[in-house]
Structure 1
Amino acid sequence: MRIMLACAQGMSTSLLVAKMKEAAELNEVDVEIFAAPEAEIPKHKAEIDIVLLGPQVAYLLEDTQEVLADTNIPVTVINSVDYGMLNGGKVLDVALKLIEKTKEGEK
């Protein structure tokens, strides 16, 4: 699984990526997590399973959903409290559940 966190420049989400990777390792979850600027979403859409938008770019939710409309990639905005507290475990859990829900919907 590949999780993409997107924000304006891809830098502010990098701390959360590190915390999510720690949580994945602790829970033995095989996942690749990376941060990138939101402008790079189209470039990565063939290789990702979900896009998590930083709260500061929540206004891009609809635009991002349109960019990914030809895929089955879910998009959601990271909870601002979890983002601010760098709660990597919680954000990872939300992402994994949304990926699973999307895959179940494909069946």
Structure 2
Amino acid sequence: MAEKIIMLACSAGMSTSLLVSKMQKAAEADGLDYKIFATSSADIDHQLAADPHPDVLMLGPQVRYMANDVKKKTDKVGIPMDIINMSDYGMMNGEKVLQAARALLNDK
């Protein structure tokens, strides 16, 4: 089982798929055993109720309008949530997004 689970959520879960693979490569290069996956924003509730649920949720910039509602849900289950930096997302910078997720996990 992975040490940490990072969930990325966007409109359909498709645009974050490339970012997931880049983050996974960065995690492996750093010797981290992380499960990183992308899903649609419609699947957030299901994933938060799953066992095990994600340790951190990163929202794609295109669904930033959902941040307040999603934050309430992640607070209920006790996991950190943030919006992926638009520049890092646009450049598909897996290393930077991984660093942001690790900062939320206090796993620097």
Give 1:88's match in structure 2, choosing from 79, 90, 94: 94
Matched position secondary structure for 1:86: coil
Q: How does 1:21-60 map to 2 (within 5 A)?
A: 21-45=24-48, 46=50, 47-60=53-66
2:12 is matched with which residue? Answer: 9
Please report the TM-score for the alignment, with normalisation by the length of structure 2: 0.89
One-letter amino acid of the structure 1 residue matched with residue 99 of structure 2:
D
Matched position secondary structure for 1:63: helix
Please report the TM-score for the alignment, with normalisation by the length of structure 1: 0.90
Matched position secondary structure for 1:35: strand
* Total equivalences in the alignment: 101
Query: What is the CA-CA distance between 1:85 and the residue it aligns to?
Result: 0.6
Q: Percent identity?
A: 48
Runs of 4+ in 1 over 4 A off after TM superposition: none
2:84 is matched with which residue? Answer: 78
Query: What is the CA-CA distance between 1:71 and the residue it aligns to?
Result: 1.5
Supply the RMSD in Å over aligned alpha carbons.
Answer: 1.1
Give 1:61's match in structure 2, choosing from 60, 67, 72: 67
Q: How many angstroms apart in 2 are the aligned matches of 1:94 and 1:31?
A: 14
